[in-house]
Chains A and B, each alone.
Chain A
Amino acid sequence: MMAFDYLRATDAREALDAVQARDGARFIAGGTNLLDLMKLGVETPRRLVDIGALEMGGVEETGDGGLRIGALVPNSDLAAHPLVRARYPVLSRAILAGASGQLRNKATTAGNLLQRTRCYFFYDPAVPCNKRAPGAGCSAIGGFNRIMAVLGTSEHCIASHPSDMAVAMRVLDARVQTVLPSGEQRSLTLEELYRLPGDTPHLETRLQAGELITAVVLPPPTPGRQTYRKVRDRASYAFALVSIAAIVESDGGRIARAALAFGGVGAMPWRNRAAEELLIGERSSRALFERVADAVLAEATGYGENDFKIPLLRRTLTAVLAELTEAAA
């Protein structure tokens, strides 16, 4: 691991000033992803500002019936929070489907959103990767690419976003609250937070230099059944090949509202609102679900070994929609 200066910040102001004052400084909280990458030489920050002691924990209801989740709330605490379990079960389920008990105890809410891809080639400094070294080339295209994305990729990068939690956050229309070194505060949807790789795969978010996520805010829960379905290579402690977070409300035999987000398949946690619209006002049927899958997959591109993700996503989606629209027993 490359040597680095270290500061344990006592408050947000000090942390923001510290990152701004010194070149190559990064925030660290749980550290479960950053330290892993630093050991491999993939991440090489020269200075770390530890924000673990900042007052950015806590889960509280907002005035409109939503939920404000502090950036430092551990994944475990969020999944186990009574209000999350009762009102946003898709979020509890997504978090519990990811990582291990030890990692969820340490990993934070904001850190989970900002974790890097697990693309094998990104993790291996001995091979070219446009995300690590822009212009070097992509070893996954034409290489072993079973886990890579099929949506939102580019000719420069086909890495998939690894988070389960972020898929649920996306289906719930979560917003990320941040503070800039100037003290200005911003609020971003996840669609605004994440960038697609395009020709700049090293830029993964629209956060500015020294910008700090302070909280994630969920709007009030919407009516309907929620589920998180994850398909992976083993029963526990593995990243998604395909995952779906879904909320579907039925009314009098017709679908009144539907939200769908996808993990394991996209360069970012994926959502397709046009596909969701196809469900509204319709009676559930296999043919309808196939049309929704057609819409989600219209732009999907396989790269050889990950071609299977396209039919796998289709089958998982039709199964999830059938489950959520089935008449209550």
Chain B
Amino acid sequence: MNWIDADADAPLTLRINGVPHSLRIDTRVTLLDALREHLALTGAKKGCDHGQCGACTVLVNGRRINSCLSLAMMHVDDEITTIEGIGSPEALHPLQAAFIEADGFQCGYCTSGQICSALGMLDEAAAGWPSHVSGDLVSGPALDPGEIRERMSGNLCRCAAYPRIVEAISSYAVAKEAAA
């Protein structure tokens, strides 16, 4: 058995945005703290640190999770994508551009999480996953504003930019659909 002892830092390699990163951490370090404090990937934010606000949302194997409620050690086999891997100031992801276009933020603290969450959410909807507000469980959902609001309810925005966040996600989804 390969126990990692509580009192010693242990080597760990995480694949983040397509690049392997080696670090030494103790067992308590969350995925969020590994990203922010050990690898200087500060796009994912620490809001509540209890899975309630969504500011820490990243994609793990393409699926959105709260990185604050996961141990870094749990992700040795995973492909992690953070906002830094989604776009850059020089080459914005179209959803980032849509947030700017729709004025989908004020302070910006929740935005990385909103964007990572929205990308995960759109894949879930494309896979036909229903939501709490879907009238019919069996046929695929139509992504109207009500569906977007329900599916994004795990991402809080204290500036309450919600109407424009929904607009940004909606306009991106419509443009993506038209291009497909």
Contact = CB atoms under 8 A, between A and B. Distances in A.
A52 B51 contact: no
A97 B132 contact: yes
A50 B72 CA distance: 12
A96 B3 contact: no
Contacts of A85: 130, 137-138
Interface residues of B, number: 47
A80 B149 CA distance: 19
Contacts of B127: 80
Interface centre among A21, A28, A85, A93 (most CB of B within 10 A): A85
B85 interface: no
23 contacts: A3-B6, A5-B3, A5-B4, A6-B71, A7-B2, A7-B3, A14-B1, A31-B69, A35-B30, A35-B69, A48-B71, A50-B74, A76-B129, A92-B130, A96-B132, A101-B64, A101-B154, A102-B65, A102-B120, A106-B65, A106-B70, A236-B150, A237-B154
B32 to A, nearest CB: 11
A257 interface: no
A231 to B, nearest CB: 13
Interface in A279-323: none
What bracket does the count of chain A residues touching chain B fall in?
A: 35 or more
Interface of A: 1, 3-8, 14, 17-18, 21, 28, 31-32, 35-36, 39, 46-48, 50, 52-53, 76, 79-80, 82, 85-86, 89, 92-93, 96-97, 99-103, 105-106, 235-237
Closest 5 CB pairs of A and B: A100-B154, A236-B153, A3-B6, A6-B27, A80-B129
Contacts of B3: 5-7, 18, 47
A1 B130 contact: no
A199 B28 CA distance: 34
Contacts of A99: 154
Contacts of A235: 150, 153
A3 B29 CA distance: 10
Nearest to B57: A102
Given A6-B3, A6-B27, A6-B73, 11 more contacts: A4-B28, A32-B66, A48-B71, A86-B138, A93-B132, A96-B131, A101-B64, A102-B51, A102-B54, A102-B57, A102-B66
Contact of A7 (B4, B51, B131): B4
Contacts of B69: 31-32, 35-36, 103, 106
